[in-house]
C-alpha cells in the first residue's frame, strides 16, 4: 500500500486552519504532522479536519507556544510523548498508525527549539537548550524501533546546500557547525534515512523555510531546509518519493515554512 506523510510547521493552527484544510483537500496526504500549533489541544479545529477525511488526531499543546499534532486518515494509537530537557513543553508527540493488514508505522513528531540569535550556549540559554535537545534526540533515537519515522521542524539546515549561502550562514543559528554536527550525529546514531535527500541530490539547493523579513521571498530565495522526514533503515526500500511544497509558502497569510512530503510503498 502507498502511504504519504507530510510535516509542516504551521505557525498557529487556529490562525491558519484554512491553509491546513487546503493542504488536506488538495494534496490529501495520509498523515500530516504539524508543529508550532500554538493551541491547547481542545481548541485545535478537529471537527473541520475530520470533515475533510482526517478523523484521527493525537496532539500535545500549550496556549500560544510550541505544540505538535498528528492528523491521520488511518486510526492512531497515542504512543505518548518525551519531555525533552525536562522543560514540560509540548515539543514531541508519538503515534502508531494502524494500516490494517500491513504492519503499523510509528511516527515521532518533533519541534526542536529555534535557539535564539546568539550561537553561544554560555551567553544564550535558548541556544544551550537547543543543543541539549539535539543531544537527547541522538541518545533517545539511537536504536529506532522497527518501521518508524521521525519528522518535524528540527530547526537545523544540516548540509551546505540546505541554505542559500553556506559561507554566510556558518555563524547564524540553524547552520552553525555545532548544530549541524549534532544533528548529523543524531541521524547517524540511528541509521536514519534523510528521505528528502534520498530523492534530491545533496549537490542541489533545497529549502523548506523562507523568512517573513524578505520583501519578496520567492525572488530572493534565501531559504533554509529546516523541516525533515527521517525513516528507520528498514523502511529504506519502500521509499518512493519526496518533495517540498514550495507553493504553500505563497498562499495567503502563509506560514514561513512549506510542507515536506515523503511517500512510502509498504
**pLDDT tens string 130-144:** 999 999 999 999 999
- Reported confidence tier of residue 215, pLDDT bands at 50, 70, 90: confident
- Reported confidence tier of residue 219, pLDDT bands at 50, 70, 90: very high
Q: What is the largest CA-CA distance in the chain?
A: 53
Dihedrals φ, ψ of 151, to 5°? -130, 165
Whole-number mean pLDDT of the chain? 97
Could you report the per-residue pLDDT of 20-57, keeping only the tens digit for each?
999 999 999 999 999 999 999 999 999 999 999 999 99
- The structural domains of the chain, ordered by start, are 2-265 (3.60.10.10)
Q: Is the pTM of this model over 0.95?
A: yes
Amino acid at each position: 500500500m502507498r502511504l504519504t506523510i507530510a510535516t509542516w510547521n504551521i505557525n498557529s493552527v487556529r490562525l491558519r486552519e484554512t491553509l491546513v484544510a487546503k493542504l488536506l483537500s488538495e494534496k490529501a496526504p495520509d498523515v500530516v504532522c504539524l508543529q508550532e500549533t500554538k493551541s491547547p489541544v481542545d481548541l485545535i479545529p478537529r471537527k473541520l479536519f475530520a470533515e475533510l477525511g482526517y478523523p484521527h488526531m493525537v496532539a500535545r499543546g500549550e496556549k500560544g507556544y510550541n505544540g505538535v499534532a498528528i492528523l491521520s486518515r488511518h486510526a492512531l494509537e497515542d504512543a505518548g510523548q518525551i519531555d525533552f530537557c525536562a522543560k514540560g513543553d509540548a515539543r514531541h508527540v508519538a503515534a502508531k498508525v494502524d494500516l490494517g493488514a500491513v504492519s503499523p508505522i510509528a511516527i515521532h513528531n518533533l519541534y526542536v527549539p529555534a535557539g535564539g540569535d546568539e550561537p553561544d550556549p554560555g551567553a544564550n540559554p535558548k541556544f544551550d537548550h537547543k543543543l541539549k535537545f539535539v543531544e537527547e534526540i541522538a541518545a533517545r533515537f539511537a536504536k529506532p524501533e522497527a518501521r518508524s519515522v521521525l519528522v518535524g521542524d528540527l530547526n537545523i539546515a544540516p548540509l551546505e546546500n540546505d541554505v542559500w549561502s553556506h559561507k554566510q550562514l556558518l555563524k547564524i543559528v540553524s547552520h552553525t557547525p555545532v548544530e549541524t554536527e549534532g544533528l548529523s550525529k543524531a541521524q547517524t546514531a540511528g541509521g536514519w534515512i534523510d528521505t528528502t535527500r534520498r530523492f534530491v541530490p545533496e549537490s542541489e539547493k533545497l529549502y523548506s523555510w523562507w523568512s517573513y523579513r524578505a520583501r519578496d521571498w520567492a525572488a530572493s530565495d534565501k531559504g533554509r531546509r529546516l523541516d525533515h522526514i527521517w525513516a528507520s533503515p528498514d523502511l529504506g526500500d519502500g521509499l518512493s518519493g519526496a518533495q517540498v511544497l514550495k507553493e504553500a509558502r505563497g498562499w495567503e497569510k502563509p506560514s514561513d515554512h512549506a510542507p515536506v512530503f515523503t511517500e512510502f510503498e509498504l
